[in-house]
Structure 1
């Protein structure tokens, strides 16, 4: 059950940034063509790009976090003996959990405080900010699961520092 939920969440976490990137490309292409041939100007273009970019970046970061495919400098853990390596990974996981907890909490607060509307489309700016606590929460869940695996001695399916 949990494995199936994890696979579904992984598919969703990959689909959202891919869709955002495709839409960004399409909007940019249409905007360039329209401006080149002086067909039209899209005053709402910046608002859509800002929102799509925010969702692409934050959900993409959560997808990379889930897969452990984000950039990592692993020379120190690789140079340590196994016990020190595990200790370092535990400390790193705890620090990540603290950071993600703060990011999620303040992202949630920012979303709740955002009452403004975008100038042209009149979209609530909270639509752009809500991705911060969502992605932070997803990364937090995966970080806690990794810490539990580390503390219990289980190896993750993609252990980075062997």
Structure 2
């Protein structure tokens, strides 16, 4: 999706400067691709441990309290993902008869990114939540440890 966005925008800019014409649908399609890329990419980034986290409180707590805090965080995240799925679905249904300006497709196709991304977030979260609860372990930790030991 990122490559398609870059190609579309590059072609549009090049055509605009070389021919004084632009692709009418380029910005709209690139925007919709960005929306889908964001929601589809949130799950793998969560699974990898790439989202920004404030961990000072967890680090200052005893192990049992830190595990309990991570349990609360895990439940809050699941609740938020459920909220995304539910309200994304409702929003998609409300907008299904509206069409986009340039491509004339239903906005439901664009807004479907939210519930689909929410479901993928739940799946990715459930795949890592046990390690997160026990020891706050993510795939990025192994990547970081390998780079740290390689530099020594």
Same structural fold, with TM-score higher than 0.5 when normalized by the shorter chain: yes
Find out whether 1:141 has 2:123 as its counterpart. Answer: yes
The offset of 1:160, in angstroms, is 8.5
Q: In structure 2, do the counterparts of structure 1 residues 41 and 144 end up closer, same or farther at CA, with 3 Å as the change threshold?
A: same
Counterpart for residue 37 of structure 2: 56
Q: Is the 8 A contact 1:112 1:126 kept in 2?
A: yes
Give the alignment's TM-score, normalised by structure 2: 0.80
Q: RMSD over aligned Cα, in angstroms? A: 2.5
Q: In structure 2, do the counterparts of structure 1 residues 25 and 160 end up closer, same or farther at CA, with 3 Å as the change threshold?
A: closer
Find out whether 1:120 has 2:102 as its counterpart. Answer: yes
In the TM superposition, 1:71-110 aligns within 5 A as 71-110=52-91
Give the alignment's TM-score, normalised by structure 1: 0.76
Q: Is the 8 A contact 1:117 1:125 kept in 2?
A: yes
Counting matched residue pairs gives 140
Greater than 6 Å deviation, 4+ residue runs:
none
Distance (Å, rounded) in 2 between the aligned partners of 1:129 and 1:119: 15
Distance (Å, rounded) in 1 between the aligned partners of 2:25 and 2:2: 18
Q: Is the 8 A contact 1:93 1:146 kept in 2?
A: no
